[in-house]
Structure 1
Amino acid sequence: MQGLTTALLSKFSLIVAATSILLLGLLAGVAHGNRLGGISSNAADEPCKRMTVYYHDILYNGENNANATAAAATQPTALSRSVSINDTYFGQLVVFDDLVTAEQAMSSEPVARAQGFYFYDKKESPNAWFSFSLVFNSTAYRGTLNLMGADLMGEKTRDLSVVGGTGDFFMARGVATISTDSIEGFYYFRLKMDIKLYECYVS
């Protein structure tokens, strides 16, 4: 009798555990807009979502208060000036809230805001490391894409990792290939961003 009772309790415990897991999964799906219905993961040469946008950075120069979208939060280090004839800005951190548009012109359709920071991290030549979110709030998309990685400024194209997202980009993964599309001195640059997502959650 005791063996039968133990067996029944064991089965009951398994049923409770399985039910709990199922309920937690359903609640998670509701909490995330039912995006846990499935995942679309395609081959490396076939993204599940792709877009090309343009990122505009206008660094504050002491006078452009109305137009500036980025500002240095630190100064270059004395080390950077001592090891390079051309200042590499080593150690300088820049915080930004930059406009992202559908076309090259700043007056073209706004797509998102790029909000985050970059800092110069190489002594011998200019090189930066980015961490930011693309914040979407339009009829096309809502939510964020989170990007990070090294901007190897000497290369024609560079890849940043798409490490996650929210809203329409919930848990997205992929790569953003960037290239310098325009540069005006030290205070303005425009990046072309070809974003390819290879992991997309679907409703």
Structure 2
Amino acid sequence: MEGRLALFVVLILCVSAIPVQSNGGKGFPVLGKEKMTHLHFYLNDILSGEKPSAVLVAQANKTYEGATPFGSVYVVDDPLTDGPGPNANVIGNAQGLYVSSGQDKLSLVLTMDFGFTTGEYEGSSITVFSRNPVTEKMRELSVVGGRGKFRLARGFAMLSTYYLNTTNGDAIIEYKVTILHY
């Protein structure tokens, strides 16, 4: 009889819904309704001069005789601006790295956090992880995350090269970004 009672109690505990007390969302962000946002900015990737924004930190041990810097890794802290010119306002920076991954065509794999330091999106960022076939006129990159106002972001960025100095590698890239976020 005692064994049956114990089994009955165990079965009741297993199938019962045990109420969990909530703190009413305090301390946790409330996501709200999903939004769509369009961003337009310019990334200034500077490899030349005394204070470059992108630096080579690793390259292949073997001498590579191709048309691209295949196997090279760059770390970046590139300014983001609201326009392409020298008088454009800095609105944030892109930090991360890119790897030259194309053997026959210049292609990069990017992993970068685009952080905004002014305006409506100050303190927020989007994260890109994607392949960038640099020689194509228009490229599409994946937006895979975000923080702040771009929490749980997903979407895409359309890129085009606004300026490229083929001698020193300096470039200005136009970004048109569409993201879904909370």
What is the TM-score with the length of structure 2 in the denominator? 0.84
> Alignment partner of 1:98: what SS?
strand
- 1:195 matched to 2:169? The reply is no
Partner of 1:156 in structure 2?
Answer: 137
Q: Aligned partner of 2:37: which letter?
A: K
Kindly tell me the number of residue pairs found equivalent between the two proteins: 176
CA contact (8 A) 1:72 1:94 kept: yes
How many Å apart are 1:79 and its aligned residue? Answer: 5.2
Summarize deviations over 1:137-163 as a string: whole Å, max 9, x none.
213212211001111123111111111
Q: Aligned partner of 1:177: which letter?
A: M
Q: 1:77 to 1:25 in 2, by over 3 A?
A: farther
How many Å apart are 1:76 and its aligned residue? Answer: 5.1
CA contact (8 A) 1:93 1:117 kept: yes
Q: Aligned partner of 1:14: which letter?
A: A
CA contact (8 A) 1:76 1:89 kept: no
Q: Aligned partner of 2:80: which letter?
A: V
- 1:39 matched to 2:34? The reply is yes
CA contact (8 A) 1:55 1:192 kept: yes
Partner of 2:44 in structure 1?
Answer: 56
Give unpaired runs (5+ residues) of structure 1. Answer: 41-47
Partner of 2:162 in structure 1?
Answer: 181
Partner of 2:55 in structure 1?
Answer: 71
Summarize deviations over 1:95-140 as a string: whole Å, max 9, x none.
1100111111142111210101111111112111111000112132
- 1:97 matched to 2:74? The reply is no
How many Å apart are 1:77 and its aligned residue? Answer: 5.3
Q: Aligned partner of 2:38: which letter?
A: R
Q: Aligned partner of 2:32: which letter?
A: G
Greater per-residue helix proportion: 1
Q: Distance in 2 between matches of 1:196 and 1:148?
A: 15
Q: Aligned partner of 1:74: which letter?
A: A
> Alignment partner of 2:25: what SS?
helix
Match of residue 117, structure 2, among 137, 140, 154: 137
CA contact (8 A) 1:130 1:148 kept: yes
What is the TM-score with the length of structure 1 in the denominator? 0.76
Q: Distance in 2 between matches of 1:99 and 1:195?
A: 16
Q: Distance in 2 between matches of 1:156 and 1:139?
A: 30
Q: 1:194 to 1:155 in 2, by over 3 A?
A: same
Q: Distance in 2 between matches of 1:177 and 1:195?
A: 6
CA contact (8 A) 1:77 1:89 kept: no
CA contact (8 A) 1:80 1:123 kept: no
Q: 1:191 to 1:77 in 2, by over 3 A?
A: farther
Partner of 1:126 in structure 2?
Answer: 106
How many Å apart are 1:39 and its aligned residue? Answer: 2.6
% of aligned pairs identical?
25
RMSD across aligned positions (CA): 2.5
Q: Aligned partner of 2:89: which letter?
A: E
> Alignment partner of 2:150: what SS?
coil
